[in-house]
Each structure stands twice: as structure tokens, then as C-alpha cells.
A and B are shown apart, each in its own frame.
Chain A
Amino acid sequence: MEYYVVSLLNGTIYGLLLFMVSAGLTLIFGMMGVLNFAHASFYMVGAYLAYTLQKLLGFWPALVLSTLLVGVIGALVERYFLRRVHKFGHAHELLLTFGISFIIAELIKLIYGNFPVDYRIPKSLDFSAFTIFGASYPAYRLLMGSIALAMFALIYLLLTRTRVGIVVRSAIYKPKMAEALGHNVPMVFMGVFSAGAALAGLAGAVAGAFYTTNPNMALELGIMVFVVVVVGGLGSLEGAMLASLLIGLITSYSVGIDRSLADLCALFGARAWAEGVGGLMTLKISSLAATIPFAFMLIILLVRPSGLLGEKE
């Protein structure tokens, strides 16, 4: 029981964190169609900037400022790099952003060293929200979850209820026509890219304090957010939320399952055979935990290529 409840809580919070990072990628890759491999690097930059700034300004101002700064970096990357290669297609975007992600990672190592930095939750936020099965549950996890939910509501309302949202949705869909109606589409694209980067930066600033802030954090999360966007369906914000939660929960639960396919075979009296085969049959689910989201993506792509809630193929 304890395992189920705690895994549910942790999985949900991890899912919400995934959403915070993939929300930006949903805008950039899912809607604008820009293949941005450096997206998780913005997440990492957000964490490191917040780490540096909170020593000078305190936690909350650092959170805000690092989000804004990452937004500016995003705008510069779009304006001076991506815009130039966009017309050549995805291969160029992939190579360019792959390069940018390497440059960012190496710069971080150069400045902060190739090891985790001591970015911690501020004392004022380091308390327990409630006690569950004799263990206290950190309030900061709930804060991360709430920020992600607030972010979801904000983007959703912005896109569906405001004129800016209408312009963004039409500029992404038919850029030339939107421009012929008097909207500065290149500027809109830069704005969306910058906002997407800023969201990743905010996620990094928030999550970096809880998990570890190290030069590999972009790599660890980078692939996973692509999985989220693809599973959720390109361009679907709700899909990204659903996929994030599913992947969060799957990861969280599978870590605790010490069973293998051989145990399943045992139900039919075939344990000895299964153990004889070995390999995949005897691997425990917990040791496969990191792979399961990818298997999940594979199945989704086979069964429903447009993703859970996506309309584009």
C-alpha cells in the first residue's frame, strides 16, 4: 500500500516536471515544427543560472530572473542561428541544435566544473507538507507540481482565449497568410521560441534545487522530453500533459517492481524453461525502468502514429 501511494505521488510530481520541460518543446517542435535538440540545455542553463543568482538575490528573485534570462538566450538562438537554417529542413536544425547543446554543456563544465553543484532548496521551503506512512513528504515537491499545473493553465488560456494565442496558432499553421494579414510572423516565431526556452529555464531553476544540478542533467532529460512530445501527439498541450504523467507514473512504479517475465511464466509452470532461456526473461522490471518509456513510445508510434491526443501525423 505504502509503495503504491508514494509511487503515485512521486510519479505524478516527476510527470509534472517532465511536463514543465516538454511544454516548451510542444510549442517549439510540436507546433512550430522546429527540431530543437538543445531544448533540455535551456533547462540546465536555467538550473545553473538560478544556482548562481540565488546566492546574490535569494531564491524567488533568482527563479524569475533566470527564467527571463533563458528566454533571452532562446530568442538569440532563434534569431541568429535557427532562423537561418530553418528553410533547409530538419537535418540542419538537428545538427545545429545538437552543436548548441554540446557548446552549452561544455561551457557549463568550464565554468562550474564537471560535477554537481550545491544547489539546494532554500531553508524556508524545506519542510514537510504532510506525513505519510511515518515518512514526511517534502512540501517542495508539491510546489514543483503546482508550478507545473499553473504553467499548463496559463499556456492553455493564453493560446485559446487571447488574440496573441490566435495569432500564434494561425502563424504556425499558415505563416504566409498570417503575415499577409499584417502580423509580424518572424517576430511571433521568435517570441514562441523564447517563451518555450523560458519555460524550460523555469523548470530547471525549480527542479535543479530538488534533484541534482550537474552538467549531465540536460542529457538525462533531453531524450525523455522528446518521448513525451511524440507520445502526447505533436502540438497537443493536453497530450503533453497526459504523456508526462503517464511516463512519470510508469517510471516511478517500474523502479519498485522486482519481478521479471520468468515470474509471469511461473504462473503457467514454465519458470524453469524461462530461467533456462535467460536474457530478457530473467531481467527484473526495476532494472528495465529507464527503457520502458521508450518501449511505450514505440508501441504508441506503431498503434497510433499521431500520438495520444495529436492530430498531425
Chain B
Amino acid sequence: MCMRLENPLLNVQDLHAHYGKSHILRGVEFHVGKGEVVSLLGRNGSGRSTTLKAVMGLVPPTSGHIKLDGCDLTGARPYTVCRAGIAYVPEEREVFTNLTVDENLRMGEQPAHDGESKWTFDQMFEYFPRLKERRNTRAGNLSGGEQQMLTICRSLLGNPKLLLIDEPTEGLAPKVVTVVGEVIQDIHQRGVSIVLVEQKLAIALKVSTHVCVMGHGQIVFEGKPDELGNNQELLKEWLAV
């Protein structure tokens, strides 16, 4: 654990956020080291999605700190956060249905950070050949699975250091779920750090290097995937439906 704290890529400290009067995040603290995949687990309403949105600057934090590579991003606008190196795959997918697949991908393009390799359109089409076939189709005419592929590719083309992915497998056919899981692992192997919010425990445990369990707007457990997988009490208290 201590090794992780020395040089974290993302450092979230005592993060609070409100929706109107309801206090959603109540002091969230976690770290993501370079090359790690950290899963945020928990029941609906535990604050996982809001944590991602707050890191991305889409929900203004009421207090606390968010740092990327030591650079303070607390309260920064989303485009600043993106340019600093964080990309976001929202749960709602949010593809631009009025644009074609190709135009959606071009929307995601950002220059690579110094000394890092750049993601290309060809790599995207290697992951998901289906997107290449549908390049000139309006994104609104894609299936849910295709939209999810598009959203992942769109954010990768921003050449992020850290990728925030919210429920990537929700509502997808089992076959597509497997593909998305493999792509996430491959992205990780190419050196991109990931924060994953995932409902399916099996996938989360498989792809993660660390897991955080959230409850009532706080992190209630942090550890290795197998530590969580073997702890029936913890699973029952915070994750069982």
C-alpha cells in the first residue's frame, strides 16, 4: 500500500460534492498509480459515478483536492481536465447522434503528451472492426454496443494518461461484454491508467490491479482484488444486492 502512495498519478483527497442540497460525496479519498486499473465498486447511489464526474470537472466539488501528476485540478473546467490528460467514458455514452462515427472520433482527438505514443484511428478499428464498417453512419443509428465502442475509442483518441470508464458493459450482449473487457485490459497493457466503475464484480476483479468499495459517499475498503474476492463479509455488507 505504501508504495502506491509515493508517486500517484491521480490523487483524490477528502472530496465532497453536492447535488442541490443532498450531500453525495462525503470525503472520498483514493489514489491511482501509473499503470494501475482501479475499480470503484458499490451499490447504486454510493457515489461512484459522481466521483468520476467530480474528477472530470462535470460536478463541481464543494471541498477537497484532485491532483493529476501533482497538478491541482480541483474545480477546473472539464476541457482543462481533459487537456491535462484525463479522458471520460460516461455511463450514458453521450455520443453525438447528429454526427457520423468518423466525426465523433475526430471530436475526441487531442495531441499526445510529451514522449507518449499516440493512439490512431487504425488501432481503434483494430479493436472494433465494426466501427470501420460504419464510419460514415450517423452515430444515432448505431446499436448500444456500437455506441459504447465509439465512446471508448473517442476518449482514447484524446491520448489520455488516465481513463475514467463508467459502467462500460451495462446493457450489452454477453459477447460484446467480453470484447469490451479484453479491450480494457489491452488499453491497460499499453500503459494507460484506468478508473473503472463496473457493476459486474467478476469483470472488475479480473481486470483491476486495485479495488475500492464505496458506500454512503465514502471509500469503505481499498485493496487487492483477491483480498476483496475472499472477504465474504465485505462483499455481503457493501456489494450484495
Contacts and interface: CB of A to CB of B under 8 A. Distances in A.
Given A166-B103, A166-B106, A167-B107, A179 B78 contact: yes
Interface string B142-160: 0000000000001100100
Contact of A177 (B96, B98, B110, B158): B96
Interface string A155-169: 000000001001101
Contacts of B154: 181
Nearest to A172: B98
Interface string B73-117: 000011101110001101000101111000110111010000000
B234 interface: no
Nearest to A167: B107
B205 interface: no
Contact of A185 (B79, B81, B87, B106): B79
Given A182-B82, A182-B83, A185-B79, A174 B110 contact: no
B94 A177 contact: yes
A174 B96 contact: yes
Contacts of B104: 170
A183 interface: yes
B155 A181 contact: yes
A177 B150 CA distance: 14
Interface residues of A, number: 17
Given A163-B106, A169-B99, A173-B98, A181 B77 contact: no
A184 interface: yes
A173 B140 CA distance: 13
A142 interface: no
A180 B82 contact: yes
Q: Which of B79, B87, B88, B97 has the most CB of A within 10 A?
A: B79
B56 interface: yes
Nearest to A182: B82
Nearest to B157: A181
Contacts of B99: 166, 169-170
Contact of B78 (A163, A166, A167, A176): A176
A170 B150 CA distance: 15
A178 interface: yes
18 contacts: A163-B106, A166-B99, A166-B107, A169-B98, A176-B78, A177-B90, A177-B94, A178-B107, A179-B77, A179-B79, A180-B57, A180-B79, A180-B88, A181-B79, A181-B82, A181-B110, A181-B155, A183-B107
Given A173-B96, A174-B94, 20 more contacts: A166-B107, A170-B99, A173-B97, A179-B77, A179-B79, A180-B57, A180-B58, A180-B81, A180-B82, A180-B88, A181-B108, A181-B110, A181-B154, A182-B82, A182-B83, A182-B110, A182-B158, A183-B107, A184-B77, A185-B79
Interface of B: 56-58, 77-79, 81-83, 87-88, 90, 94, 96-99, 103-104, 106-108, 110, 154-155, 158
In the complex, the 3 A-B pairs of residues with the closest C-beta atoms, listed nearest first: A182-B82, A177-B94, A179-B78
